Amino acid sequence: MQSDLWWQVVAEVVGETHSASGLDIAEVADRAMHRLGITAELYLSKRGQTALVPLLVNGHREPVSIEGTLPGTAPRC
């Protein structure tokens, strides 16, 4: 059942990240989400909450503005 797989993925992410930091968290989340056939992108809010900075395992991406963007609405939900 898909619901059981979802909770297994959640348990894996929580179990492996409770003492992790930085890129380890992004790597664990992305690896676990692959079991569901999806990918994960994690962002941290910069001090002052003006931009979201991606935690990337590979590659580089510029920060995303919080104001007026879809990713910027997530921290406010």
Spatial neighbors of 63 by CB under 8 A, at least 6 apart, are: 46, 51, 52, 53, 54
pLDDT above 90 as % of the chain = 6
Residue 6 has pLDDT above 70, yes or no: yes
Q: What is the number of domains present in the chain?
A: 2
In angstroms, what is the C-alpha Rg of the chain? 14
- The domain in which residue 56 lies consists of 41-77
Distance CA 66, CA 70 (A): 8
Residue 52, strand partner residues: 45, 64
Pairwise CA distance, residues 36 & 55, whole Å: 20
The model's pLDDT over 23-43, given as tens digits with 9 standing for 90+, comes to: 788 888 888 888 889 888 888
pTM for the structure as a whole: 0.63
Residues 32 and 46 in one domain: no
Of 10 and 58, the structure prediction assigns the larger pLDDT to 10
pLDDT value at 1 more than 60: no
Residue 42 phi/psi, 5° resolution? -110, 140
Looking at the fold, whether 54 and 65 belong to one and the same domain comes out as: yes
